[in-house]
Amino acid sequence: MRVVVQRVSSASVVVDSNMVADIQKGLLVLVGIEDADTQEDIDWLVGKIIKIRIFNDENDVMNYSVQDVNGEIIAVSQFTLHAGTKKGNRPSYIKASKPDIAIPLYEKFIATLEREFGNKIQTGIFGADMKVSLLNDGPVTIIMDSKNRE
């Protein structure tokens, strides 16, 4: 499982001209799922996401987590995070899970994030054509892959 975590001043997701998610200070998390992902991958990533210290303290040092600043989270499924670009100019998405595997894992990811974070997690709509807007604060963007945790 691969995520891109962006510290945001605000973020939103629109589907078919309808706002489906909207937050202020917090994290926008893009989530890519592959067939080999398990609950162990989810647990590790969720722990990292909610505890990673990328928010500034009173001395302008990144010492606070999203929990510490009472921030919000939007999670958006994004199969293109597993794009293979070694050959040619058209990315290959062969490593990205098909919906029958990805949807249950994505739902488990969201449920785990809600349970551990203690706040409602907003989401995009799996498989939809989403318009994601964000004001990246910093900019701060962190890439994490549960297969590279050692």
Q: Mind listing the pLDDT tens digit for each residue in 20-52?
A: 999 999 999 999 999 999 999 999 999 999 999
The pTM (predicted TM-score) of the whole model is 0.94
Contact 135, 10 (CB under 8 A): yes
Would strands 130-145 and 72-77 be described as parallel, antiparallel, or unpaired?
unpaired
The residues annotated with a catalytic role in the active site are 80
Domain ranges in the chain?
2-148
State percent of the chain over pLDDT 90: 88
Q: Which CATH number fits domain 2-148: 3.90.226.10, 3.50.80.10, 3.30.360.10, 3.50.50.60?
A: 3.50.80.10
Residue 119's pLDDT is what?
A: 77
Kindly tell me the burial class for residue 139, based on how many C-beta atoms sit within 10 Å of its own C-beta (0-12, 13-18, 19 or more).
exposed
- Going by pLDDT thresholds of 50, 70 and 90, the confidence category of residue 17 is very high
CA distance 82 to 142: 16
